[in-house]
């Protein structure tokens, strides 16, 4: 299967149903109803900040590990540049909700938010299978992330 067909298939079979499941969680249901507490929104800000810091570190590591492969190095450089402002945006949101700098400095990721990686380059049927499994795993992580935030920041 070529790359575009794989992406289209993963989106249709895994991502779109996962988004619907995410939208149906208690977190997003209360958000739509205007009932989501400030504490849970603050929890999202903290967890998203930590999550994005981890992503930046993984992209930096990817750049170093792939310095000899220009295509991969460029890929990780691009991703790092695209994501660079995201932790600060989440922090600014949290600060606007009443959090303090030390809330971010002292925070640790809840279990459900601690992993977030997916395969990017597919060359074999085995890698295609791994991408699909990773996408399924990512859907579970995202669902768990918001369920975890909802539970931990009640």
DSSP reduced 3-state for 2: coil
Measuring CA to CA, which residue among 56, 51, 54 is closest to residue 77? 56
Give pLDDT, residue 114: 44
Instruction: Please give the residue that has the higher pLDDT: either 14 or 131.
Output: 14
With beta carbons less than 8 A apart as the criterion, state whether 42 and 91 touch: no
**Cα(23)–Cα(35) distance, rounded to whole angstroms?**
15
Average pLDDT, the chain: 82
Give pLDDT, residue 118: 46
pLDDT (tens digit, 9 = 90+) per residue, 46-62? Answer: 988 988 888 888 888 88
pLDDT (tens digit, 9 = 90+) per residue, 92-151? Answer: 999 999 999 999 998 876 654 443 334 445 567 776 776 667 677 667 777 777 888 888
Residue 76's alpha-carbon distances to 61, 121, 122, 135, 147, in angstroms, are 9, 12, 16, 19, 30
Instruction: Please give the residue that has the higher pLDDT: either 59 or 7.
Output: 59
DSSP string for residues in 71-124: HHHHHHHHHHHHHTTHHHHHHHHHHHTT--HHHHHS----GGGS---------S
**Cα(139)–Cα(147) distance, rounded to whole angstroms?**
12
Parse the chain into domains and list their residue ranges.
3-152
């Amino acid at each position: 299967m070529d790359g575009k067909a794989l992406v289209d298939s993963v989106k249709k079979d895994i991502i779109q149903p996962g988004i619907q499941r995410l939208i149906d969680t208690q977190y997003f249901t209360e958000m739509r109803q205007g009932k989501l507490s400030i504490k849970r929104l603050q929890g999202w800000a903290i967890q998203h900040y930590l999550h994005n810091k981890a992503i930046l570190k993984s992209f930096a590591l990817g750049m170093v590990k792939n310095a000899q492969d220009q295509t991969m190095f460029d890929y990780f450089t691009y991703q790092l540049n695209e994501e660079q402002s995201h932790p600060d945006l989440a922090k600014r949101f949290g600060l606007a909700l009443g959090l303090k700098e030390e809330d971010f400095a002292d925070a640790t990721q809840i279990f459900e938010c601690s992993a977030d990686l997916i395969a990017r380059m597919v060359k074999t049927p085995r890698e295609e299978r791994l991408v699909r499994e990773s996408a399924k795993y990512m859907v579970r992580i995202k669902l768990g992330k918001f369920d975890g935030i909802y539970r931990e920041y009640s």
